[in-house]
Amino acid sequence: MLRRTTVALATAAALAVALPAAAQAAPPEAVAAKNCSLSGKTRSLGPTYTTSLKVKRVSCRKGESVVKGYYKCRVRNGGKKGRCGGVQRFKCSERRYNSIRTQFDARVTCKKGRKVVKHTYTQFT
């Protein structure tokens, strides 16, 4: 009986030492979304005005490239009012709001795995 208790205590002590070391070996990866500056670029990314750009796990430069590609895809698929399902292997979804005959605003989210590019824009039609 004494031997079993000793073995159990030794095993528990070894686990107590090993578990914190294992937890420290691979800390969880914290990746915050980043707002990208559009200073001087709001009219050069495609739509009439790109009003915001937020990226996660990609650079702001790559985010801008996705925005430009998305706009070109929209124009190829119906002009300024066109839609696009994806660009550069990102799958994109769009929500339009504040829509009137001459303009609309939209929120776009493009995802490729854990990479995310979100942007908003105003389009004059």
CA–CA dist 58, 67 (Å, integer): 13
Question: What pLDDT is stored for residue 25 in this prediction?
Answer: 57
How confident is the model at residue 22, as a pLDDT? 47
- In the chain, which stretches have pLDDT less than 70? 1-30
pLDDT for residue 30 = 61
CA dist., res. 57 & res. 110, Å (int):
12
Return the SS3 of 106: strand
- 3-state secondary structure string, 53-84? EEEECCCHHHHHHHHHHHHHHHHHCCHHHCCC
* pLDDT at site 70: 97
Residue 101 has what DSSP assignment?
Answer: T
